[in-house]
Amino acid sequence: MNTTSSQVTGARARPSFPQPLPGAENTVLWADLDAIEPSAQQQLRNVAALPWTRRLAVMPDVHFGYGATVGSVIAMEGAVAPSAVGVDIGCGMAAVQTSLTAEDLPDDLGPLRAAIEAAIPVGFHAHDDAADLRDDPGLASRVSAHLTGFRELRAPRIADRRSRAIAQCGTLGGGNHFIEVTVDQDGRVWLMLHSGSRNIGKELAERHIDAAKGLEHNVGLPDRDLAVFLDGTPQMDAYLHDLHWAQEYALLNRESMLVLLEGVVRRVFPGVTFSGRVTCHHNYVAHETYDGVDLVVTRKGAIRAGRGELGLIPGSMGTGSYVVRGLGNEAGLCSASHGAGRRMSRNKARKSFSVEDLAAQTRGIECRKDAGVLDEIPGAYKDLAEVIEAQTTGPSPLVEVVTKLDTILCVKG
């Protein structure tokens, strides 16, 4: 009789994906249900039961979120739930390959990190006015033109945020946002960053979420945080108008930071060139068609992975990232995870780890190693290799790996 190693050792066999969500025929999981915390499981069931939800695809980085889990791809017919996008509208990743190799870099990367932090405001800091984009006049014009649309935003009480939105375009923010210098499997140096629509996206999202909660058709929902706007109503039109503006703002924010980051690297390494830019949203709305039905697809903590499309899946401080290529898996709504995903809350991370743990887990990486970023310690996140494996193997993979990027420098707010 043939006997597998798991039978001999008693170990639990590795699950094959996708898996069903019992009781929710419209839902498939690229995550082990037993490993999803009960509160997140309930959120998935709440979303699946909404009358407008046609399909729900759950990514391997899934975890509890506001209203809807992070790591959800929700396809609705005739409706959109702002909480299924998240409050950092348009948050996403950008990366660019350089002509540098690992051998070109100095042993001490501290001065390079300091130069990046001097050029790109992090945390609560912002530019004094608009970012200096003289290295890319075309981008400067696009940013300026986009910001003129601020006056047309439809959310209430938003007009006084304009000067802040101008100053924050081209800034990193805090939390899990980062700027990194990485090295791929061929020894080539990449620059990458993760950020979104800054305060203006949050303000727009919160105002529209509050408006949705007050609509009569949302009164009987199992979770009022899942309040929706209905197609053909002025409220949905207003939300989508502001959301698309914020998604573009987030993209321009990342492009502005890349220009500033490339400028820093160019001053340190004269003659360096850049190529192969990759960029992707992972908190956004798209209008897509599946099984002949036009649907409103929200990706919250998930990237689009259409066939041949390049994407970025980061881990955490110290664990690196992956460049992936989408396989266009319609069962997974042409999506993939946006990262490793948290396995514990920020508060729990602060209580569970010490600054010494942070230093040990980020050994060999030029980065902050103080209590201010303790909640971003790698140990607070899921195993990135397992998250990648869940969506690259089995009978229904979502992506294929192009290359792994190992972090050597990380800037946090």
d(CA 179, CA 176): 10
Match 């193997």 to its residue by tokens.
Answer: 393
Active-site annotation, residues? 338
Residues contributing to the annotated binding site:
88, 176-180, 194, 282-283, 314-317, 321, 338-341, 412
pLDDT single digits (tens) 142-201: 999 999 999 999 999 999 999 999 999 999 999 999 999 999 999 999 999 999 999 999
Which residues are within 8 A (CB) of 317 and not within 5 positions of it... i.e. 6 or more apart? 178, 361, 362, 365, 367, 373, 376, 377, 378, 407, 410, 412
Of 291, 284, 358, whose CA–CA distance to 87 is shortest? 284
Whole-model pTM: value is 0.94
Partner residues linked to 219 by β-bridges: none
Is the pLDDT score of 239 beyond 90? yes
pLDDT at residue 16, rounded to an integer: 87
pLDDT at residue 283, rounded to an integer: 96
Which residues are within 8 A (CB) of 10 and not within 5 positions of it... i.e. 6 or more apart? none
Scanning 320-398, the segments in alpha helix (DSSP H) are: 346-352, 355-361, 384-392
Name the pLDDT band for 1 (thresholds 50, 70, 90). Answer: very low
Lowest mean pLDDT among 13-27, 157-171, 387-401: 13-27
pLDDT single digits (tens) 66-87: 999 999 999 999 999 999 999 9
Is the pLDDT score of 6 beyond 50? no
Strand (E) or helix (H) holding 275 = strand 274-281
Residues contributing to the annotated binding site for GMP:
176-180, 282-283, 314-317, 321, 338-341, 412
As a whole number, mean pLDDT of residues 379-390 equals 96
Match 């039109």 to its residue by tokens.
Answer: 237
Q: Where are the domains of the chain?
A: 20-343+381-412
CATH topology of domain 20-343+381-412: tRNA-splicing ligase RtcB (3.90.1860)
Is 56 within 8 Å of 74 (Cβ atoms)? yes
Match 């039961």 to its residue by tokens.
Answer: 49
**Backbone phi and psi for residue 402, each to the nearest 5 degrees, phi listed first:** -90, -50
pLDDT single digits (tens) 282-321: 999 999 999 999 999 999 999 999 999 999 999 999 799 9
pLDDT at residue 14, rounded to an integer: 72
Mean pLDDT (the chain, rounded):
95
